[in-house]
Amino acid sequence: MLIIILSSKYIMVVLIKTENNNKPEISIGNQIKKFAINGLYGFNTILLIGMGRRLGIFNYLYEKAKSSISSIKFTEVIFTPLDLSENLKLDLKYLDGWIHLGLECGILEIADSEQKLLKTAPYVYELLIDCNNKSYIGGTLGAFYYMAPAQDILIDNFKTGKIWSILESSKEVLKDLQERGARFGKLVERLFSKKFEDFCNKLKKQGKIFELGCGYGFNLETWAKKYKNVSFTGIDIDPIAIAHAKELIEKNNWNDRFKILEINIDKFANSFKEQFDLILLNQVLHEMNTDENYRRDVFKNLYSLLKDDGILLIGESMVPDTFAPKKGFQLFDITHKFTEVKTSLFYDEKTFREFIDSTLFTRSEFIKEGGSGIWVIRK
């Protein structure tokens, strides 16, 4: 469209490009809502969740629900500010601020104003409190909470190019991040058992599972509770993680089913000649040495440890190229890249398949359903 504007002093020619693409016009009001209002609600919700977990509020509400004699399935927990203050020894005025913001952000609701009774909002119990619920996302959102205090390190890294290892984090943060990875591991197991039902039914009767990078043992715990006739071996190079994994095994009386070792994959493959029905690699691949020759050596060892009819199961963030066309929801994967971009090497589907083709393995299948994706790799 060409528009000519006449005035006594000049003629202005304005070219306006018009397209009939039926896209709704974006207003400044839309953008204010997107960046300011949604951003404030999102940030404050993450803050509330992180503090609620660290202060023990969510654990208290979980135990309160479980201690009830009611046989009704819980969808909400009713409590008072005084309950939290007395049982958790927390200052009542600070609690009042946390609760008021929780009401505004939709985590809490008022059950009875006169009696000052509060309750969790719909599905908050399932999503944020009950860590055994299949819909639980409290660990994931809680992990994002730790990104705020980490920004000073990230800013310095932007300017200097330094490498910051996640192992430099506090024990509390490391444990929380491990629990987040285990949440992803539950989704991996769920999708795998759905798509490979026959293999899993056979495994339930008898089998051996090995996990490379078992960390704190949370992921193996998921498998051990479901596959009760399976023996497990987990290895990691982090002594703190190994100690916690052993405590977890002791707590569940699984000593006769588990071997947990502080050893690297090369020494393990050369020292232990047993083979496994299933090998797990859960959110570990990107943290390996970024040299692909090193990674090929790791996969050579995994190949030797896998039975001929076994499966190497990989749960990993598949991060698209920065300028690739957007395909659906990718926030979690790209956030993963953002927080570990300097220390990690991520693949997309194409480049990872090319990597697998350069190893001894001959068959690879990528299965994606919703926000979950798994690689099933065979000899």
Asked whether residue 341 is domain-assigned, the answer is yes
- Shared-domain flag, residues 108 and 247: no
Residue 137 has pLDDT above 90, yes or no: no
CA–CA gap between residue 278 and residue 317 (Å, rounded): 20
What are phi and psi for residue 231, nearest 5 degrees? -95, 145
> pTM (2 decimals)?
0.79
Residue 9's pLDDT band, with cuts at 50, 70 and 90, is very low
CA–CA gap between residue 312 and residue 377 (Å, rounded): 5
Asked whether residue 16 is domain-assigned, the answer is no
- Shared-domain flag, residues 57 and 163: no
Residue 6, pLDDT score:
47
How large is the average pLDDT for residues 109-116?
94
Strands 117-120 and 78-79 turn out to be antiparallel
Residue 69, pLDDT score:
59
Residue 16 has pLDDT above 70, yes or no: no
Residue 263, pLDDT score:
97
Asked whether residue 12 is domain-assigned, the answer is no
- Shared-domain flag, residues 359 and 215: yes
Asked whether residue 95 is domain-assigned, the answer is yes
CA–CA gap between residue 240 and residue 222 (Å, rounded): 20
Burial of 145 (0-12, 13-18, 19+ CB in 10 A): buried
- Shared-domain flag, residues 190 and 327: yes
Q: How many domains is the chain partitioned into structurally?
A: 2
Of 143, 174, 198, which closes a domain?
143
Range of the domain at 251: 151-378
Give the pair of three-digit tokens for residue 1: 């469209």
Residue pair 192/376 in contact (Cβ under 8 Å)? The answer is yes
